[in-house]
Amino acid sequence: MEEIIIKKNFKFTSIVAAALFAASPVVSLVAAPNTIQAAAVVTKSSVVTHYLRDRSVYTNSTRISASTSINNIHLTNNTGTEIETNDAVLNNGKYTLNAQVTIMGLTPTSTDRSVTIVNNNGEIIGSASVNAHSTLAQGNLEFDFAVKNGRLSHTSLGNITGNTIKVSKKKVTKKKHNKVAHKKNHKKAHKKTVKHTKKRK
């Protein structure tokens, strides 16, 4: 009788233990690997994307409706060696990017003019001359930039503010003002000389 009770208790205990084990969450004993963040790198592809994407066209410092197409992109380092592979990592140093640009959809005008190409970062990447009555123009882009510790650094590009290219209007106004003032002073001096001459006569 005692033996039968022990067997029943053992069977019951086994069933309870199995149920608890099934309900318990599974704990992994494998340690999670350390996450290492990849170092920042600059490639030819990332340079082209950064400097040449989402381009706008300006004329007389005002943004106009026109589209652009860029071809024959060349990237060279400071020794003149061309970087041909898009995924090639650029080491610290200076680089030059040049390419051909075509501007389309221009509004015809009666005179020759020039247009400026600006990228999405507000940087002036090039310009082109447009013949009178033409809706199409072609030009070259060429500028320098530097790479430092996996990041783009100093560049030779100019910038714009809002929809207006940075032009030193104050200096232009000042020059015009000086010219006008000089003419006025010259006229006054001439009048004084004429009056003085008449009095002496």
Residue 56 has pLDDT above 90, yes or no: yes
Domain that holds residue 109: 44-174
The pLDDT value recorded for residue 31 is: 43
Residue 178 has pLDDT above 90, yes or no: no
How many domains does the structure of the chain reveal? 1
Lowest mean pLDDT among 96-105, 135-144, 173-182, 183-192: 173-182
From 45-49, 84-88, 155-159, 175-179, the region with the lowest mean pLDDT: 175-179
Residue 161 lies in a domain: yes
Question: Is residue 39 in a domain?
Answer: no
Higher pLDDT, residue 161 or 124:
124
Answer whether residue 20 is part of any domain.
Answer: no
26 located within any domain = no
Place of tokens 């340079």: 47
| Section 65-70 average pLDDT | 93
Q: Is residue 1 part of a domain?
A: no
Whether 109 maps to a domain, the answer reads: yes
> pLDDT-derived band of residue 186, with 50, 70 and 90 as boundaries?
low
pLDDT score of 30 more than 50: no
In 3D, which of 158, 142, 153 has the Cα closest to residue 58?
A: 158
Does residue 84 register a pLDDT over 90? yes
Q: Does 106 map to a domain? A: yes
Q: Is residue 22 one of the residues assigned to a domain?
A: no
pLDDT at 71 over 80: yes
